[in-house]
Amino acid sequence: MRISVFSNIASYIRSVFRGAWSIAESCTTAFPYILRWGELRKEITEGYPDPVSSKTADDLPPRSRGLLFNDIDRCTGCKECEKICPAQCIRVEEEPGANNSKIWVSVYDVDFSRCIFCGLCVEVCQPASLVHTRQYEGAAYHLTDLIASFGRGQITAEQRASWAALRQMSESDEVTL
């Protein structure tokens, strides 16, 4: 079937105008954004870090998983967190403390350069000493700065000896009692 020249021309002109119309429509849809017309178009990228963003650490949702913090006084050194950690970023060393009920957690290092903030360690922590803080700004200049140490520090040989003696004493006390 032969298509007439006129219908060809008509469809050509129609497609040109359709293209022009569609492009004009796209542009006019986006234009109100320049002037921020309407409630829905007011939302823009939040400036970070300045001007001070509307979102501070307090505005984060309650469950946000920020940097880890270990309250060493409550930590029992059970090493559950070390075992479950998928990234193996927690290192715990502990020794018997001055009395039988206390464990001296000498090293508790969290390597934030490896941490994936999955939250499993916090979940398994029985005494609930390990928590996620709301702190999320953890950038540092050196890799070593990313290791957070919560441990009580290594003890000296004399301390170890004296604590062992103390434990012995309390044990013998219990026996005598």
Partner 1 sequence: MTIISSEPVRADLTLWEIGPYHSSLPAPMRLKLRLDGEIIAQCEVETGYLHRGLEKACELHPWRAAIAYMDHLDPEVAIFGELVLCLAVEEIGEIIVPPRAQRIRIILAELSRISAHLVFMVRMAKAVGSETIVHYLLRDRERILDLFELVAGARFSLNFLRFGGVSADITDGFIERVLDVCDLIRIRIKEYNDIFTFNYGFLKRSSFVGKIDPILVKSSGMTGPNARASGISFDVRKDMPYIGYDQFDFEIPLGRGEGGIVGDAHDRFLLRLREITQSMELLKQVSDHVPIGEFQNEKIDKEYIVPPGEAYARIESSRGLLGCHVVSDGSPCPSRIQLRTPSVANLLAIPQFVSGIRIEDLPVVLASLDLGIAEADR
Partner 2 sequence: MMSEQNSWIIAWCNSISFLSEIPGWAHALLALISTYCLVIVPSGALMVYLDRKISADLQARVGPNRAGPAGILQPLADLLKLLQKEATKESSWRQNVWLSVHTMALYSTLAVMPLGSMALLVDTEMSAFIPFWSALVLALGTMLLGLSQDSVPGWFGGIRVAAQTLAGSFPALIALLCVGVRAGNFRWSILANCQDFSPWSWTFLSNPFQFIAFIVFVMSGLVLLAIPPLDGGVSMSDIHGGVSSHLFGRRLSLFRFGRFFGFFFWSIIAVVLFLGAWKLPLQVSEGLRAQEAFRFLATIELIWLLAKTFFLMLFITWVARVNPRSRVDQITDFAWKVLSPFSLAALVGASICAGWKAFL
Which residues in this chain contact partner 2 in the complex, by CB under 8 A?
16, 23, 26-27, 29-31, 33-34, 36, 41, 43-45, 47
Cβ 7 to partner 2, closest distance in Å?
A: 17
- The residue (of 31 and 118) whose beta carbon lies closer to partner 2 is 31
- The residue (of 122 and 163) whose beta carbon lies closer to partner 1 is 122
Task: Using CB under 8 A, list all residues that contact partner 1.
Answer: 18-19, 22-23, 25-26, 29-30, 40, 43, 45, 60-65, 83-86, 116-120, 123-124, 132
Cβ 87 to partner 2, closest distance in Å?
A: 34
Concatenating the DSSP letter of every residue in the chain gives -PPPHHHHHHHHHHHHHHHHHHHHHHHHHHTHHHHT-SGGG---PPP-STTTPS--GGGS-TT---SEEE-TTT-----HHHHH-TT--EEEEEEE-SSTT-EEEEEEEEETTT-----HHHHH-TT--EEE-S------SSGGGGEEE-------HHHHHHHHHHHHHHHHHHHH-
Choose among partner 2, partner 1, none what residue 164 binds, the Cβ cut-off being 5 to 8 Å by kind: none
